[in-house]
Amino acid sequence: MASDMLFAGVDTAANTVTATLYLLAKNPEKQEKLREEIMSDAEKKPYLRACIKESLRLMPVVSGNARRTTKEYNIMGYKVPIGVDVILAHREMSIMEKYYPKANEYIPERWLTNKDDPLHYGNAHPFAYGPFGFGARSCIGRRIAELEMDTFVTRLIENFHVEWFGPPPTVVQEALNYIKGPYNFVFKDIK
């Protein structure tokens, strides 16, 4: 099971890192802010987590979560019978202005602001963001994936200035979304 958890998330973590690097390359002021945090002596790295969360919001590997009803529900006057597949399309919700002001902009700060700020992620519907799923059937490898992504992004940003040239990447939407090459990154050594 340990190897399943480690290797099952390789593609998803790699795609999230690619998305994060692309968004940081297109937002150099965010990249510099992240680099300052990484180079600091601070033990915790909240801006790193915020950058990855914001990347998962804008370019999630999984567009939604599906569940099959095990009993009949009545939701806001709608009857949902037993055995129906219900799909929560958090990818679509995560780019709605109703839930995330400036929804198409890369704003990692929304994950760090206080509740009074209109950008604060907590003002969105609780199911608008769910890249790892919810509840008992959420991603079992979440912590490992987060550690992999944190480590990879940290090592790259502390050593390289990342740039992107050319058109935006193509995101192929299938069971798992992925960024299709070519990967037009330029890594410039900063040391």
Euclidean distance between CA atoms 74 and 91, whole angstroms: 25
The HSE-up count of residue 108 (CA atoms within 13 Å, CB side) is 21
Q: Coil, strand or helix: which one is 162?
A: strand
**CA proximity to 96, closest of 77, 123, 78:** 123
CB atoms within 10 A of CB 170: 10
Token readout for 157 is: 């940003």
51 is in an annotated binding site: no
Q: Which residues are annotated as a binding site?
A: 139
Q: Which residues are annotated as a binding site for heme?
A: 139
